[in-house]
Amino acid sequence: MLIENEENCQFGTKLIHAKTGIEGHYGAVNVPIYQVSTFNQEAEGNNGKYDYSRSGNPTREALENTIAQLENGAAGFAFSSGMAAISSVLCLFESGDEIIVSHDIYGGTYRVLTQLFSRFGIKVIFVDTTNIEEVKGAITAHTKGIYLESPSNPFLHITDIKKVATLAEDHQLLTIVDNTFMTPYLQRPIDLGAHIVIHSATKYLGGHSDVVAGLVVVSDEQLANEVKFVQNAFGAILGPQDSSLVLRGMKTLKVRLDQQQKTALELANWLENHSFVEKVYYPGLIDHPHYPLASEQASGYGAIISFTLKDEALTSHFLKTVKLASVGVSLGGVESILTHPATMSHASIPKEVREEKGITETLLRISVGLEEGVDLQHDFEQALQTFASSFSV
């Protein structure tokens, strides 16, 4: 049941009572799953709101309306994966265009930019977007957009979104922000001046490692029309079953992230003081170089920690011996997920480029789940100490 003045409610309430635009049947408290491919039309030339589910589906529309409200955007769009969302946004650019992109970025994004869209004459300029002077210096007459991850993947660098968006506005460029790590609960890039926000909804928004999805939110109606055209023409849409799973997962986003962030900070501090750990990357640590900006720009620090161990053999042993954390790709689930970027999330980046970026064999990334923090620490400790008992580090 909807309540009056939902826009004045706190974020956790909005998650439950967003205006989906879809009327429930028989008093249903959740949006029905419209598992249909086509819709009956009353008469020729008098088509209804929906005609074919690639072009529009009520369950998908409910999700799209929800994410648009949560990100304070003009419209939302749901895609079949995070990469489908990213690729669909990149379809807004043309041959000869240049895009400035964060130097530290997800491997799949790097791959699609350098190996796919490069075929169509789109040039990518990688810069350290945390340095506004580098961004400014990279702008040419052909630059059409700036693509950011903040926090970045995997090193959790923080870019000043407002400064970059202001610079982009001065040069009539699109500002695109991948907000997967933070979600609209912790950070809303459109409020900071961004034009387009992208999510891999597979991660925190879905939250249960049981759905693959992507979401896009735009800041104005013109962009909405452009993205809608690409979504319908390209056709990489999210199905109604998966749309329903994301809608369900989003209802618990706040309570999940509140707990995950609490545990992440405890674990980051523990890792920082461990003798086998070389370096910890987490913006919630006071000694993180971008801690003041992270505190100003967002309402939390997320639940992703990257860290390096002191030895490659130790890293290999740790991955094989840890028990509570799943070892694999992805993040944002209720279970902790431990990733080895060099062979998993960033494996598509050439080895020499990975190493230049600092993505070495000893780098690990942990997506902190809902396990008790003390149990995660005990598990990590046993994995490290069993190595110590067999080898000298």
Residues taking part in catalysis: 54, 106, 178, 203
What single DSSP character describes residue 330?
-
- 153: CB partners within 8 A, 6+ apart: 104, 105, 106, 181, 345, 346, 365
To the nearest 10°, report the CA torsion of 124, 129, 131, 133.
Answer: 40
Order of strands across the sheet that contains 363-367: 277-281, 304-309, 363-367, 337-339, 326-327
76/360 Cα distance (integer angstroms): 37
User: What are the strands, taking DSSP E only, across the chain?
Assistant: 75-79, 98-102, 123-127, 143-149, 174-178, 196-200, 214-218, 277-281, 304-309, 326-327, 337-339, 363-367
Q: Locate the DSSP E strands across 59-207.
A: 75-79, 98-102, 123-127, 143-149, 174-178, 196-200
Tokens matching residue 206: 């879905």
Block residue for tokens 């895009």: 99
Separation of alpha carbons 376 and 326, rounded Å: 12
| 3-class DSSP assignment, residue 214 | strand
Place of tokens 């009520």: 58
Q: Identify the residue whose tokens are 């029309």.
A: 225
What angle (nearest 5°) sits at the alpha carbon of residue 81, between those of residues 23 and 142? 110
**SS3 for 215?**
strand
| Helix and strand totals (H; E) in the chain | 14, 12
Please count the CA atoms within 13 angstroms of the CA of 137 that sit on its side-chain side.
Answer: 9
Of 170, 23, 199, which Cα lies nearest the Cα of 106?
199
Q: How many residues does the chain have?
A: 393
Closest CA to 182 of 298, 274, 90: 298
